[in-house]
Copies of this chain bind each other. A is one copy, B any other.
Amino acid sequence: MQQLLDRMKKDGIIIDDNILKVDTFLNHKVDPKLMKKIGQEFINRFKDSYITKILTIESSGISPALFTAYDLDVDMVFARKKKSLTMSDDVYQTEVFSYTKKETNNLIVSKNLINSDDNVLVIDDFLANGEAAKSLANIIEQAGANLIGFGIVIEKTFQSGREKLNHEGYRVESLARIKSIEKGNVYFY
């Protein structure tokens, strides 16, 4: 998606050879017009699929997921990392280790929000090692729902996420695929 690549080149900040910081348009400050375009592109990529629900993870997945859901006229569910006091115990739950934050989080979705009739498209901001994506797949499996695939805004192809997901037979569509980050430059496929 050219508009996204252009924005990453213009405003992405290279932290090291593994991390491109995109917090001025995607995951801290958010550009809503770009999120709208991203949503439209996900819909275009998955136009052959019948989607009844969007699933993402708080917090950075919410913005691209919301516009995708809006244009598809379906609801969006975001998995929570912590149980709030208003949540019942009737939840799907799984663990996920975040390499960025160096901590293990729970991923929790109330059981009444996804059911076995759902065809679920997962949206997330990044695909790196695939741990979060696999955990979301696990929740969808617990719900007995159908997993359509993964819509990823930015894929770090030099990590093992896509390989793991493809190995499980899941479809992955990424709007920007980083080949490598080297000596202060980002290279895309």
Query: Which A residues are closer than 8 A to B by beta carbons?
Result: 15, 19, 21, 23-25, 28-33, 35-36, 58-59, 62-63, 66-67, 69-70, 73, 75-78, 80, 82, 84-87, 100-102, 109-110, 112-113
Contacts and interface: CB of A to CB of B under 8 A. Distances in A.
* Copies of this subunit: 2
Nearest to A57: B59
Contacts of A21: 86
A35 B62 CA distance: 13
A70 B36 contact: yes
Nearest to A69: B32
17 contacts: A15-B86, A19-B85, A28-B110, A29-B76, A30-B62, A30-B78, A31-B75, A32-B70, A33-B70, A58-B59, A59-B62, A59-B80, A62-B62, A62-B63, A63-B66, A63-B76, A66-B66
Main secondary structure of the interface of A (DSSP, over half): mixed
A19 B110 CA distance: 17
Contacts of A30: 62, 66, 69, 75-78
A84 B112 contact: no
Q: Which 6 A-B pairs have the closest CB atoms?
A: A58-B59, A32-B70, A59-B59, A21-B86, A29-B113, A62-B62
B110 A85 contact: no
Contacts of A102: 85
A86 B29 contact: no
Contacts of A28: 77-78, 80, 87, 109-110, 113
Contacts of A62: 30, 59, 62-63, 66
Given A23-B86, A23-B110, A59 B78 contact: yes
A32 B75 CA distance: 6
